[in-house]
């Protein structure tokens, strides 16, 4: 049996709240977890952020919470601007109900907070294991600057296509449009070199919408900005060691990724799921909880490395104009090679499993 306040959880975001719920399922009581108080309100910019949860993350969420209002993704349409290559990932081909779901950050946060079985009464205090589940990897980790910034915004479209998410690879960087739970609204992530994105941020909304339609194409009809775009610099940071003695980092505290494949939150959810199982198993065996941390890090190494590598590749490979014939061929080959396409889709839905 673990000591009271055996685990200290640092953070109040979705990964932290998911971990609390998963640890409760492993039998850890409120008096055994020292947690940060959850704020009553979120900043508006954060509350409205769109989060794309993979099917695997959605299934983990459903274990502890009533899923929030969402827009299911049943098709991902991947194209290369100005080239013939394309591929489509579909839920029907993979025989799953959906590839994933898009939710608002506030709705996800509320669902997880509401699902916590009882208030965690212990204030933050020292514990035998400390879990950093919020924040960033810090400045001492491995970093990569993509020299890109993303325009983030909500769009209203005149010709919505239910269940379809779009990923356009352009010579400037990736451009993604995701359906939102609200009818007719879509989430935009438009990546380009930082000076280009800064210039676009200064355009009038109608000018920017016209430029976006030119770059994206007519698939969703007329595009109108529903809110003011925000600018987000893009980089990748990895904590060198996710385990340091009795301290372990998960989610964004362990790795901050480029948003091209929407895998940051999903990687964090998988971290939380595996860590909760590892801690629960250690306790069931009567072992010190700290003994589970290094095995946890080893268990997560392959999925973490593969997700980072694929995300980095997608962020940069298709933005190289001299490679257009090869890029087009690669997308075309992926579309023809069903097993390869299905393997890629399952990796994004569930992660790389050892």
Q: What is the pLDDT of residues 239-285, one digit of tens each?
A: 989 999 999 999 999 998 877 667 889 999 999 999 999 999 999 99
Handedness of CA 269, 309, 49, 243 (dihedral sign): positive
Domains of the chain: 7-140+235-350 (3.50.50.60)
Residue 81, pLDDT > 50, answer yes
Dist. CA 187–CA 170, nearest whole Å = 18
Please state, for a pLDDT cut of 90, what percent of the chain lies above it.
60
Q: Can you give the pLDDT at residue 119?
A: 60
φ, ψ at 240 (rounded to 5°): -65, -40
Q: In the predicted model, what is the mean pLDDT of the chain?
A: 86
Q: What is the pLDDT of residues 149-162, one digit of tens each?
A: 999 999 999 999 99
Q: How far apart are CA 103 and CA 338, in angstroms?
A: 29
The reported pLDDT for the residue numbered 125 is 60
Phi-psi domain of 40 (left: phi exceeds 0; alpha: psi -120 through 50; beta: other): alpha
156 phi and psi, to 5 degrees? -105, 130
pLDDT at 94: 86
Task: Calculate mean pLDDT across residues 63-84.
Answer: 86
pLDDT in tens, 114-157: 998 766 556 566 678 999 999 888 776 788 888 899 999 999 99
Q: Out of 10-24, 45-59, 254-268, which region has the weakest mean confidence (pLDDT)? A: 254-268
d(CA 83, CA 100): 27
- Please, what is the Cα angle at 273 between 339 and 49, to 5 degrees? 80
pLDDT confidence tier of residue 208, bands split at 50, 70 and 90 = very high
- The pLDDT assigned to 325 comes to 45
Going from the C-alpha of 283 to that of each of 2, 28, 157, 162, the distances in angstroms are: 7, 9, 52, 45
Q: Which has the closest alpha carbon to 308: 251, 234, 236? A: 236
Give residue 228's pLDDT.
94
Give the global pTM: 0.89
- For residue 200, the SS3 value is helix
Are 259 and 149 in contact by the 8 Å Cβ rule? The answer is: no
Q: Round to whole Å and give the CA distance between 16 and 125.
A: 16
pLDDT digits (tens, 9 = 90+) for 291-340: 999 999 999 999 999 888 888 877 776 555 544 444 444 444 444 445 55
pLDDT at 349: 63
């Amino acid at each position: 049996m673990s000591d009271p306040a055996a685990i200290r959880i640092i953070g109040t975001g979705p990964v932290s709240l998911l971990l609390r719920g998963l640890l409760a399922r492993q039998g850890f009581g409120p008096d055994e977890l020292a947690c940060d108080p959850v704020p009553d309100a979120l900043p508006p910019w954060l509350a409205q952020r769109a989060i794309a949860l993979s099917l695997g993350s959605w299934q983990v969420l459903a274990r502890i919470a009533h899923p929030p209002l969402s827009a299911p993704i049943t098709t991902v349409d991947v194209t290369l601007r100005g080239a013939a290559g394309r591929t489509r990932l579909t839920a029907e081909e993979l025989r799953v109900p959906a590839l994933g779901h898009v939710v608002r950050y506030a709705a996800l946060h509320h669902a997880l907070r509401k699902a916590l079985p009882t208030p965690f009464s212990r204030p933050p205090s020292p514990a035998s294991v400390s879990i950093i589940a919020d924040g960033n990897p810090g400045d001492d980790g491995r970093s990569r600057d993509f020299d890109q910034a993303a325009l983030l915004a909500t769009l209203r479209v005149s010709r919505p296509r239910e269940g379809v998410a779009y990923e356009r690879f352009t010579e400037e960087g990736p451009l993604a449009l995701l359906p939102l739970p609200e009818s007719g609204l879509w989430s935009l992530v438009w990546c380009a070199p930082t000076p280009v994105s800064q210039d676009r941020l200064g355009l009038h909304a109608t000018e920017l919408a016209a430029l976006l339609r030119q770059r994206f194409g007519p698939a969703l009809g007329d595009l109108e900005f529903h809110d003011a775009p925000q600018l987000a610099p893009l980089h990748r940071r990895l904590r060198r060691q996710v385990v340091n003695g009795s301290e372990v980092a998960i989610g964004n505290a362990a790795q901050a990724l480029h948003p091209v494949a929407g895998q940051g939150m999903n990687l964090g959810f998988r971290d939380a799921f595996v860590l909760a199982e590892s801690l629960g198993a250690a306790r069931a065996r009567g072992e010190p909880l700290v003994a589970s941390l290094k095995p946890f890090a080893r268990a997560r190494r392959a999925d973490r490395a593969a997700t980072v590598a694929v995300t980095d590749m997608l962020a940069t490979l298709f933005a190289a104009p001299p490679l257009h014939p090869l890029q087009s061929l690669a997308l075309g080959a992926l579309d023809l090679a069903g097993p390869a396409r299905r393997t890629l889709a399952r990796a994004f839905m569930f992660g790389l499993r050892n």
